[in-house]
Amino acid sequence: MTREPRWLDEEEQQTWLAFLGVTRRLDEALDRQLQRDAGMPHAYYMILVMLSAAPGRARRMTELAAATHSSPSRMSHAVTRLEAAGWVRRERCPSDRRGSIAVLTDAGFAVLAAAAPGHVEDVRANLFDQLTCEQVRQFGEICRVLLTHLDPHDDADPATPTAAAATR
Amino acid sequence: MTREPRWLDEEEQQTWLAFLGVTRRLDEALDRQLQRDAGMPHAYYMILVMLSAAPGRARRMTELAAATHSSPSRMSHAVTRLEAAGWVRRERCPSDRRGSIAVLTDAGFAVLAAAAPGHVEDVRANLFDQLTCEQVRQFGEICRVLLTHLDPHDDADPATPTAAAATR
DNA sequence: TCATAGTAGATGAGAGTTCAATCATCGACT
DNA sequence: AGTCGATGATTGAACTCTCATCTACTATGA
């Protein structure tokens, strides 16, 4: 019943700590940049990105939550905040009166357009520019393998509008 | 001055999104497991880990903040919470009266020992077990390269007590 | 038509993080 | 000793996230 756990060996531990360090620092860097240049955290920026890529720059709350992998509650709070900032507007859904639709405003699009170049630059500088072509390829493959296991339902289909234009 | 940003190409975008997906889901999984089994988030668990690996199971607040890469403020709030739970105790520093020392209590060590096996199992199941040996090696190398750039001061020296025993 | 189960979304409380003060002490210099 | 800038740590407010709860509506089925 209580058998000896498969502890990490020295090298695995080091890799694990390095990974934790990378993700934390990267998150911090992105949050700082976006907070400074766009006045919002990375998670909110991603909401605007997803909206900007959607037809009519509008999406149902549930869809939006799925696209950014956040809970309905979180999405609701987030959109409330984005609405207060004037970057998103809520509309009632005509086909299902329970539903509500988040629409990206012109102001929201503008703040996105203003912040995007700096954001991409940050992603490049901290990630892609540091790796060789071969490493970028390996890294992509590894992330896809891990994601498939962590979330079997997420197809990561490049054809979906959600996957497109994430950092554009 | 305002030159065209180096947008991510299709494959880079996909890799970037996959990476974001992996880190988010992994964080979620670890937080959920530790919240359930130990009643604390992953960040707090790491504080106990760092304390348990330190001589005398005790460390200065500033050191602790550096070891877990968190701000002094965050560490102070966290230790306040851990102290209320009875897992950590504060002592005044004899050599510098401004300082304060966090000490892991027996109860803290016990909760750590109880949660560790499940935690390691989670890390293995979601990360190492999903990759080939070759991929684990590549992944480790990539993380080290990125970490070196993101935080040049962090030596990631395996000999430091902080790096040892992170998941033990 | 009515009951009922399920779905979409909002809300409020509680926990964790950030940021900008604040306080006490140290170290160095006059 | 007395001043002054730097350092160690804490605090409170504002913000974000989670979780449980709640309301409104849809869909199904007698």
Q: Supply the CATH number for residue A88's domain.
A: 1.10.10.10
| A6 falls within a domain | no
pLDDT at A152: 77
pLDDT at B1: 59
Instruction: Give the percent of chain B with pLDDT over 90.
Output: 86
Q: Which band of pLDDT confidence, cut at 50, 70 and 90, is reported for residue A154?
A: low
Stretch 120-159 of chain B: residues touching chain A, C-beta under 8 Å: 120-121, 123-124, 126-128, 130-131, 135-136, 138-147, 149-151, 154, 156, 158
pLDDT at A150: 92
Other C-beta atoms closer than 10 Å to the C-beta of B168 total 16
**First and final CA of chain B: distance in angstroms?**
51
Residues whose beta carbon sits under 7 Å from strand C:
A 28, 32, 35, 60-62, 72-73, 75-77, 79-80, 90, 93, 96, 98-101; B 40-41, 43-44, 70-71, 73-74, 77-78, 81, 96-98
| Cβ atoms of residues B139 and B128 within 8 Å | no
| B34 falls within a domain | yes
- pLDDT digit string, tens, across residues B60-104: 999 999 999 999 999 999 999 999 999 999 999 999 999 999 999
Give the A:B interface size as CB pairs under 8 Å. 183
| B13 falls within a domain | no
What is the CA B49 to C1' C27 distance in angstroms? 34
| B58 falls within a domain | yes
Res A159 pLDDT > 90: no
Res A149 pLDDT > 80: yes
| B15 falls within a domain | no
Residue at minimum CA to C1' distance from nucleotide D21: A73
A146/B6: higher pLDDT: A146
| A145 falls within a domain | yes
pLDDT at A1: 59
| Cβ atoms of residues A119 and A34 within 8 Å | yes
Q: How far apart are CA A49 and CA A46, in angstroms?
A: 5
CB-contacted nucleotides of strand C (7 Å): 6-12, 15-21, 24-27
| A86 falls within a domain | yes
Ramachandran bin of B60, using left for φ above 0, alpha for ψ from -120 to 50, beta for the remaining angles: beta
Residue range of the domain that includes B93: 22-150
| A13 falls within a domain | no
Q: Which residues of chain A lie closer than 8 angstroms to B22, CB-CB? A: 143, 146-147, 150
**Overall domain count for chain B:** 1
Mean pLDDT, each 10-residue run in order, chain B (168 residues):
81 95 95 95 98 97 96 98 98 96 98 96 96 97 96 54 40
Instruction: Give the percent of chain A with pLDDT over 90.
Output: 86
